[in-house]
Amino acid sequence: MERNNRTWICSVLFLDIVGYTKLSVSHQMEVKNHFCSLVSEALSDVRNDDCINLDTGDGMAICYLGDPEDILFIGIGLKDAFAELENTCEIVYKVRLGINLGPVKIVEDINGQRNTIGDGINVAQRIMNFAGENQLLVSRSFYDVVSCMSDECKNMFHYLGLRADKHVRKHDVYEVMSHEEAEDHNNNMDAGSEKIEQEAVFVQQSDVSSIFDEATLKKVEKDLVDYVGPMAKIMVKKASKKAQSLVELRRILADEIPTEDNRRQFLTM
Low-confidence ranges of the chain (pLDDT < 70): 1-6, 178-210, 230
Please report the pLDDT score of residue 206 as a whole number: 45
131 and 236 in a single domain? The answer is no
Do 90 and 129 contact (CB within 8 A), yes or no?
Answer: no
Please report the pLDDT score of residue 107 as a whole number: 82
Cα 66 from Cα 256, distance rounded (Å)? 41
**CATH code for the domain of 150:** 3.30.70.1230
Interval 86-116: pLDDT, tens = 887 888 899 999 999 999 988 877 777 777 8
Q: Is residue 1 part of a domain?
A: no
Count of domains in the chain? 2
What kind and span of H or E run contains 175?
strand 170-176
Please report the pLDDT score of residue 60 as a whole number: 95
167 and 191 in a single domain? The answer is no
pTM flag (> 0.75) = no
80 and 150 in a single domain? The answer is yes
74 and 95 in a single domain? The answer is yes
159 and 188 in a single domain? The answer is no
**What is the DSSP secondary structure assignment for residue 193, as one 8-state letter?**
H
121 and 214 in a single domain? The answer is no
Please report the pLDDT score of residue 114 as a whole number: 78
Q: Which of 177, 199, 220 is the last residue of a domain?
A: 177
Please report the pLDDT score of residue 79 as a whole number: 94
According to DSSP, the β-strands at 6-17 and 59-64 are antiparallel
54 and 166 in a single domain? The answer is yes
Please report the pLDDT score of residue 182 as a whole number: 57
113 and 194 in a single domain? The answer is no
Q: Which domain holds residue 245?
A: 183-267
Q: Which of 124, 155, 177 is the last residue of a domain?
A: 177
159 and 196 in a single domain? The answer is no
